[in-house]
């Protein structure tokens, strides 16, 4: 299946108008702003993707929970300096958790990396690792799969016995058959007597 979805998680970059890791006005932490974006769709069309409609963004295993906005952005406010973990819970996609370091020494400096493959998010572009298919796909009917099933094997063997074995016998030399039969008889007779 083609992975049509690309996810951009944009953390603290200078391209965005509002400073993303600005100390919030109450002063007890920083704000982390990220973005979830689907490639091949305009930001307007994103809302139509019902699969990501209820995507939840979870900070530090449930300390804070926020939701993805229609344009794909999300923000955590009042996050203290330190190393944090952001997880994305979206049904149908497998997201790697993201490690986010907020520097205490350089206020507002944020680094991010995927924890699954340790890929640093320098340009902060994250592809979902995969699309999740929760159901086993029914394989289309094929002769092979039928033959492989116990029933198929049984039938195959029976057909083999029915149609091929007589042929084998037929192809043998009648003399040989007689000899073999006699041999058998001699082998069995002493025992039966």
Partner 1 sequence: MSSSHLRPRTAMAIRARLGFVIVLSLFFSATLSTALYEDQVGLADWHHKYIGKVKHAVFHTQKTGRKRVVVSTEENVVASLDLRTGFIFWRNVLGKNDHIDQVDIALGKYVVTLSSGGSILRAWNLPDGQMIWESTLPVSTPSKSSLYVLANMNVGKDNLILVFGGSSIHALSSMDGQIVWRKELSIDSLEIQQIFQPHDSDIINVVGFVGSSEFVVYQISYRTGEVMQQSKASFESGFCGEASLVFDNLVVALDASKSSLVSISFKNEVINFHQINLSDLVPDFSGKVTLLPLKFNGMLAIEIASSILLLRVKGANELEFVEKISHPFAVSDALPLSKVQQAFAILQHDESKIHFKVKSDNDLRNEILKETIQMDSQRGNIEKVFINNYIRTDRTHGFRFLVVMEDHSLLLIQQGEIVWSREDGLASIVDSTTSELPVEKEGVSVAEVEHNLFEWLKGHLLKLKGTLMLASPDEVAAIQAIRLKSSEKNKMTRDHNGFRKLIIVLTRAGKVLALHTGDGRVVWSVLLPALRRSETCGNPFALRVYQWQVPHHHAMHENPSVLVVGRCGHGFDAPGIFSIVDSYTGKVQNSFILEHSVSHIMPLPLTDSTEQRLHLIIDAKLQAHLYPKNSDSLKHFFNEMPNIYWYSVEVEKNKIKGYSLESKAELDTAEEYVFQAKELWSIIFPSESEKIAVTATRKMNEIVHTQAKVVADQDVMYKYISKNILFVATVSPKAAGEIGSATPEEALLYAYLIDTVSGRILHRVCHQGAQGPVHAVVSENWVVYHYFNLRAHRYEMSVIEIYDQSRADNKDVWKLVLGKHNLTAPVSLYSRPDVMVKSQSYFFTHSVKSMAVTATAKGITSKQLLVGTIGDQVLALDKRFLDPRRSVNPTQSEKEEGIIPLTDSLPIVPQSYITHSLQVEDLRSMVTIPAKLESTTLVFSYGVDLFFTRIAPSRTYDSLTEDFSYALLLITIVVLVAAIFVTWALSEKKELKEKWR
Binding site for partner 1 (CB under 8 A): 24-26, 47, 53-54, 56, 58, 60-70, 74-75, 77-80, 82-85, 87, 89-92, 94, 96-97, 99, 115-116, 132-138, 140-141, 151, 154-155, 158-159, 162
Judged by CB, which is closer to partner 1: 133, or 187? 133
DSSP 8-class letter at 53: T
Phi, psi of 162 (to 5 degrees): -70, -50
CA 150 from centre of chain: 31
- Contact (CB, 8 A) for 88 and 36: yes
Query: 137-158 burial, b for 16+ CB within 10 Å, e for fewer?
Result: eeeeeeeeeeeeeeeeeeeeee
Nearest approach in angstroms of CB 25 to partner 1 is 5
Judged by CB, which is closer to partner 1: 15, or 134? 134
In this structure, what token pair is assigned to residue 109?
A: 């400096």
Judged by CB, which is closer to partner 1: 8, or 152? 152
Nearest approach in angstroms of CB 187 to partner 1 is 26
Judged by CB, which is closer to partner 1: 164, or 188? 164
Judged by CB, which is closer to partner 1: 3, or 188? 3
CB atoms within 10 A of CB 134: 6
Nearest approach in angstroms of CB 107 to partner 1 is 16
Nearest approach in angstroms of CB 66 to partner 1 is 7
Nearest approach in angstroms of CB 103 to partner 1 is 13
Strands 82-89 and 98-102: antiparallel
Q: Taking phi first (over 0 means left), then psi (-120 to 50 degrees means alpha), and beta for anything else, what does residue 183 get?
A: alpha
């Amino acid at each position: 299946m083609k992975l049509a979805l690309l996810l951009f998680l944009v953390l603290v970059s200078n391209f965005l108008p509002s400073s993303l890791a600005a100390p919030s006005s109450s002063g007890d932490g920083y704000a982390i702003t990220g973005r979830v974006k689907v490639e091949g769709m305009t930001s307007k069309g994103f809302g139509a993707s019902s699969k990501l409609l209820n995507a939840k963004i979870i900070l530090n295993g449930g300390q804070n929970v926020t939701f993805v906005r229609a344009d794909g952005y999300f923000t955590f406010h009042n996050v203290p300096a330190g190393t944090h973990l952001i997880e994305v819970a979206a049904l149908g996609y497998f997201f790697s958790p993201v490690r986010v370091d907020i520097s205490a020494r350089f206020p507002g400096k944020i680094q991010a990396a995927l924890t699954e493959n340790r890929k640093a998010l320098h340009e902060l572009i994250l592809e979902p690792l995969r699309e999740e298919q929760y159901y086993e796909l029914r394989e289309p009917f094929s002769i092979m799969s039928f033959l492989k099933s116990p029933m198929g094997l049984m039938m195959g063997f029976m057909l083999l016995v029915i149609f091929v074995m007589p042929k084998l016998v037929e192809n043998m030399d009648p003399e040989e058959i007689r000899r073999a039969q006699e041999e058998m008889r001699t082998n069995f007779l002493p025992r039966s007597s």
